[in-house]
Amino acid sequence: MLAISLPSSLGLAASAPSPSSVGAGLRVARAATPLMTEPSTTAEELGIGCEGDCLVSYDSLPPSVKPGVVTGQALVDLLDYAKATGFAIPAVNCITSSSINYCLEAARANDAPIMIQFSSGGSQFYAGKGLDNTNFRAAIAGAVSGAYHVRQLAKKYGVPVILHTDHCAKKLLPWVDGMLEASEEFFAANGEPLFSSHMLDLSEEPLDENIDVCVEYMERMGKMDMLLEMELGITGGEEDGVDNENANPDDLYTKPEEVWMVQKALQAVPNAKFTIAAAFGNVHGVYAPGNVKLDPKILRNSQEYIAQQLGMAPGSKPCAFVFHGGSGSALEDIREAISYGVIKMNIDTDTQWSYWDGVRAYAEKNAAYLQSQIGNPEGADKPNKKFYDPRMPVRAAEESTVTRLVQCFADLNCVDIF
Ligand SMILES: [Zn+2]
């Protein structure tokens, strides 16, 4: 067995595991060359036939879960494994190839799976703000482009990646429709969808309508083995142009009966796979301590209620829950939520800050070299090219964010998973 190791040039954050331990749990039946210096790391790419559970899998994850984008049954197996062993997977909002790359790097550094997700605004940004977005054409193209970027690189990093999209309110449904078309084409050619999953957020509509729309999409998505994340109750705060800062406080806390209505309706759809973002006081954004009142017991009560309805043993966790608005949450609330079946936590605000903070610190440290193309403290004729090369601040931002994500993975117990 040979471990895939990271080249030292990746410059991992100090808190990350040392390169020698990275990838130790990855099982490869034939010599694999160091990551990224040689393009082939998987069995298919090496063109080697495989027996049983194939040549590349992980020691401790379910055998269906392999490096690269995880879809269908492998995705369900991975989420079930997370629920059973008590960790949640960080779901990080990405807006550029740089954000995707730091996610892959952070997952690799933690020997852990990651979710990479795009919001509609983030998808549009990925395509470039200069591209016309009539009928969400830029947002659709941007998300698809991001998806191919992830597919191209995830296997090279040797990590399992769930490819997902974030909040889709009623008015944004054409954006998801466009991505579903792309997945249907991909499914016809490859037997799996382009994306692992999408989120629909009809939480601002009446509950019946929310459920009806989710069922309709689950039918379409079930045909190509996709997973649906739906939202019940409202996540407070502001994110990506959706402002719930003045939401009715009652709507910030979902009731077990409502979770059951969703579970019942969606599980009746053929090949349904879904997760529920139930509101338990979550808020997007980071606020001063004391302003966010989380009540994770709502999740425990929902599991108990639904287990009863399904005639399952006490202590069963029939639902897979998603934690929105995790940035700035107290660690004990995060861990408690995980113990009640949260398998995914969204991360956006904290990585927005860490990325900016990396640029800020870089500019501050090198200020004297960043004021003009020529001339710095070492001489009036000294060039500053190597300081203002955009790769320098961008890499500083990535390193700062990998460090922040290492913390997120630790908070979510999502460390050394394979
Ligand atoms: Zn959210």
Q: What is the 45 CA–ligand 1 centroid distance (Å)?
A: 36
Q: Which positions ≥6 away from 288 have C-beta within 8 Å?
A: none
Name the nearest CA neighbour of 126 among 109, 110, 138, 108.
138
Q: Tell me, what's the pLDDT at 322?
A: 96
Q: What is the mean pLDDT of the chain?
A: 87
Distance CA 278, CA 20 (A): 40
Identify whether 80 is part of a domain: yes
Q: What is the 125 CA–ligand 1 centroid distance (Å)?
A: 18
77-95, pLDDT tens digit by residue? 999 999 999 999 999 999 9
Identify whether 416 is part of a domain: no
**Torsions phi, psi for 256 (to 5 deg):** -55, -35
Please report which confidence band the pLDDT of residue 289 belongs to, taking 50, 70 and 90 as the band edges.
low
Query: How many residues in total does the chain contain?
Result: 418
Percentage of the residues of the chain whose pLDDT score is greater than 70: 85
Please report which confidence band the pLDDT of residue 218 belongs to, taking 50, 70 and 90 as the band edges.
very high
Look up residue 220 and give its two tokens.
């379409």
Q: What is the 284 CA–ligand 1 centroid distance (Å)?
A: 6
Identify whether 26 is part of a domain: no
Helix, strand, coil percent values for the chain (each to nearest 5): 45, 15, 40
Give SS3 for 401.
Answer: helix
Name the nearest CA neighbour of 273 among 319, 308, 334.
319
Which CATH number is 100's domain given? 3.20.20.70
On the question of pLDDT at 123 being above 70, the answer is yes
- Specify the pTM: 0.86
On the question of pLDDT at 188 being above 60, the answer is yes
Query: What average pLDDT does the segment 328-342 reach?
Result: 94
Query: What average pLDDT does the segment 292-305 reach?
Result: 92
Residue 23, Cα to own-chain centre: how many angstroms?
A: 20
Identify whether 11 is part of a domain: no
Element (H, E) at 68: strand 68-69
Q: What is the 182 CA–ligand 1 centroid distance (Å)?
A: 24
Query: What average pLDDT does the segment 325-351 reach?
Result: 93
Q: Which positions ≥6 away from 9 have C-beta within 8 Å?
A: none
Q: How many domains is the chain partitioned into structurally?
A: 1
Domain around 254: 60-411
On the question of pLDDT at 4 being above 70, the answer is no
Q: Confirm whether 295 is a catalytic residue.
A: no
Tell me how crowded residue 317 is: count the other CB atoms within 10 A of its CB: 22
Identify whether 39 is part of a domain: no
On the question of pLDDT at 184 being above 50, the answer is yes
Q: Tell me, what's the pLDDT at 22?
A: 39
247-251, 282-286, 366-370: which has the minimum mean pLDDT? Answer: 247-251
On the question of pLDDT at 374 being above 60, the answer is yes
Q: Which of 166, 225, 333, 411 is catalytic?
A: 166
Please report which confidence band the pLDDT of residue 284 belongs to, taking 50, 70 and 90 as the band edges.
confident
Q: Tell me, what's the pLDDT at 350?
A: 94
Identify whether 16 is part of a domain: no
On the question of pLDDT at 373 being above 50, the answer is yes
Identify whether 45 is part of a domain: no
Q: Tell me, what's the pLDDT at 28?
A: 44
Identify whether 12 is part of a domain: no
**C-alpha distances out from residue 337 to 15, 162, 169, 296, 321, Å:** 25, 21, 25, 5, 9
Q: Tell me, what's the pLDDT at 290?
A: 67
Name the nearest CA neighbour of 235 among 195, 270, 279, 190.
279
